[in-house]
Amino acid sequence: MVNAADNTNLPWYRHLWVWLVMIPPAAAVVAGFITAWLAGAPPALVVDDYSEIAMATEQSRNRDRLAGQLGLAAFVELPAPGNAVGPVQLTLRAAQDGFRAPPQLRLRFIHPTREELDQTLTITWEDGRYTGQLARAESRFYVQLEDLDGQWRLVGELPAGAIQLDLSAESAP
């Protein structure tokens, strides 16, 4: 039989309390390695070519400026939000004389956070206005209207549930 006096002469690894104290830090180290393995590689958020981004930004501003010089504005009528496809009707106005409206325009609906909800429509001139079809989600969207050549654009924000939107060159950034 071992008494309490003999228990103090045992090596450290034979004491129960040593193992009970080491279990939580060891478990944290193992959990850290598992978390790092599950996370995988870090996302590529850093962009290497900053001059290319600056040129693209300037190009966008030039398109906005041209729309302002032409005095472009658009009125968009949209289907109610939901899963059904509905008609989109757009009226384009220009303050500058001699502006020829193109036969087709590109209308983009860009969701602020969910890329899978983004939609791009090519709308066509019919009966005095541009028309197309849209399956619209119940959410807020950024809207871009541009010619197919990418010379000018109008931008705006569509609140969730709205069925009409005015786009003008003044609302461009």
Determine the Cα–Cα distance for residues 104 and 86; give it in Å rounded to an integer: 19
Name the pLDDT band for 27 (thresholds 50, 70, 90).
very high
- Residue 146 identity (one-letter amino acid): E
- Bin 82: left if φ > 0, else alpha if -120 < ψ < 50, else beta: left
At position 25, the amino acid (one-letter code) is P
Quick: pLDDT tens for 129-150: 999 988 888 888 899 998 888 8
- Separation of alpha carbons 76 and 68, rounded Å: 18
Domain range holding 157? 50-171
Q: Is residue 129 part of a domain?
A: yes
**Has this prediction a pTM greater than 0.85?**
no
117 inside domain: yes
Mean pLDDT is lowest, of 9-13, 95-99, 159-163, for 95-99
The full DSSP string for 5-68 is HHHTTS-GGG-HHHHHHHHHHHHHHHHHHHHHHHH-SPP----S-HHHHHHHHHHHHHHHHHHH
Q: Is residue 50 predicted with pLDDT exceeding 70?
A: no
- Check: CB of residue 145 under 8 Å from CB of residue 130: no
* Domain presence at residue 65: yes
Instruction: List the CATH number of the domain containing 75.
Output: 2.60.40
Amino acid at 148: L
Instruction: Examine the pLDDT at 173 and tell me if it is beyond 50.
Output: no
Domain-embedded: residue 134? yes
The confidence band for 163, taking pLDDT boundaries of 50, 70 and 90, is confident
How many separate domains does the chain show? 1
Question: What digits encode the pLDDT tens for the residues 51-91?
Answer: 665 666 566 788 888 888 888 899 999 888 776 788 889 99
131 part of a folded domain: yes
